[in-house]
Amino acid sequence: MSRILIVEDDERIRSSMRLALEEEGYDVDDVGNGEDAVTLFGAEPYELVLIDLMLPGIDGFETCRVIRRQSTVPVIMVTARSDTHDVVAGLEAGADDYVTKPFVAKELAARIRALLRRSRHDGEGSAVLSFGDVVIEPEAGVVRRAGVEVHCTRTEFRLLCELANHPGKVLSREQLLERVWGYDYFGDGRLVDVHVRRLRTKVEPDPALPRFILTVRGMGYKLAV
């Protein structure tokens, strides 16, 4: 299961957290201060880090910042201070969530699951692409809209994936021709238009007024973010 690092100076809280998480099936390490946390984090792979705010030496904010500088690992701040200012500061320091003590083990576990779910998901090789109510499963070669499968041809599917892989970025016709049709393709750039149109009829709520597959005049096409 996932490896989790706990950074907490209070011995009792630390071991109770550790127990609770091991109960959930996680592989847990724990340290009592920020320096050790940074050292250990550099030496071992962790999938998530829990940091207490009040630490001897460098505090939780700073520890979080240092870790964030070298990694995008999910970080949860676990602390007694529930002041809005602290919450905001913690999140701005790079934490993904902020839980106040006394916390309930079940809730912390749920938040950890939610965070791991997301971080795995938007990690590389995300199995699923989506926009609006459209879901694309590149592996399965399936496109669904509002749950129902939409049949796409091979070219349409590749084109859709190419757009969905770069949401918000404008892709020129040349780029699309190269990536969807192949490096050696010498054809009319208008060809892209036709396939975009066909895609729109299958994927857009109103193909006449596209909301997702947008044309950027003179530049190409892009998927709305």
CB of residue 150 vs DNA: minimum separation in angstroms?
12
d(CA 50, CA 60): 10
Position 128 contacts a second copy (CB under 8 A): yes
> Which partner in a second copy, DNA, none is near 134 (CB below 5 to 8 A by kind)?
a second copy
CA atoms within 13 A on the CB side of 167: 9
d(CA 22, CA 4): 10
Pairing verdict, β 48-51 and 27-31: unpaired
Site for DNA in 198-217 (CB under 7 A): 200, 207-208, 210, 215-217
Position 142 contacts DNA (CB under 7 A): no
Strand partners for 7: 31, 51
Token readout for 23 is 């109960």
Position 84 contacts a second copy (CB under 8 A): yes
**116 CB-near residues (< 8 Å, 6+ apart):** 2, 47, 48, 74
CB of residue 83 vs DNA: minimum separation in angstroms?
49
x/- contact string, 177-216, with a second copy (CB under 8 A)? ----------------------------x-----xx---x
Stretch that binds DNA, among 12-20, 34-42, 57-65, 152-160 (CB under 7 A): 152-160
Pairing verdict, β 48-51 and 75-79: parallel
**70 CB-near residues (< 8 Å, 6+ apart):** 42
Position 102 contacts a second copy (CB under 8 A): no
> Which partner in DNA, a second copy, none is near 96 (CB below 5 to 8 A by kind)?
a second copy
Element of type H or E holding 199: helix 190-203
Stretch that binds a second copy, among 57-65, 138-146, 178-186, 187-195 (CB under 8 A): 138-146
Nearer to a second copy, 107 or 188 (CB): 107
Strand partners for 135: 130, 144
The vertex-36 CA angle with 34 and 41, nearest 5°, equals 95
Nearer to DNA, 119 or 172 (CB): 172
Position 87 contacts a second copy (CB under 8 A): yes
Near DNA by CB under 7 A: residue from 124, 168, 187, 225: 187
